[in-house]
Amino acid sequence: MAVTVLGLSAAIRGPVKQDAMRNGLRQTPGVEERWRDPDWLNSALSWVDEKLSETGSPRTGEPDQVHVRPWSTVIRVPTAQGPTWFKTNTEELKHEALVALLLAQRVPDRVPPLIAVDVERGWMLMEDGGVGCARCSPRSATCPAGTTSWTALAT
């Protein structure tokens, strides 16, 4: 499935300001509460359901909000084809959706396949990418091929 970028705002196209990166998290009181707000969750999950329906792979169970931090949240969404993942960030970090989209277009074998992206809101819906780097070490039998190269970059 091809994902295209349409109507990017100047704020997304422009460079991320250094002061936002340095101070952004300190300027986001109540963000974790927002990620848990029922109205916000309903809006996000309605978008997820719409995008999954468009692909012919509707949700098959209850979503699980597995990650809530001041800067982002991640929700695991089950489908018949396996788990999918919704992620969003604060305003200061919402450019991650665009970065993920650009990486998916340029090096699709290196990122989980994107199902949908809303760059204006910083929302991403992606297929399962397997075991995350944070959950394994290069010597672990459960780590996917290529993990060693990623961990080598981090050290």
The full set of domain ranges for the chain reads 10-154
pTM for the model:
0.70
Structure confidence by residue, pLDDT tens digits, 70-94: 999 999 999 999 999 999 999 999 9
Cα end-to-end span (Å), the chain: 35
Residue 44 makes CB contacts below 8 A (sequence gap 6+) with: 75, 86, 88, 123
Structure confidence by residue, pLDDT tens digits, 89-127: 999 999 999 999 999 999 999 899 999 999 999 999 999
Instruction: Provide the CATH number for the domain formed by 10-154 in this structure.
Output: 3.30.200.20
CB 60 within 8 A of CB 45: no
The one-letter amino acid code at 74 reads: V
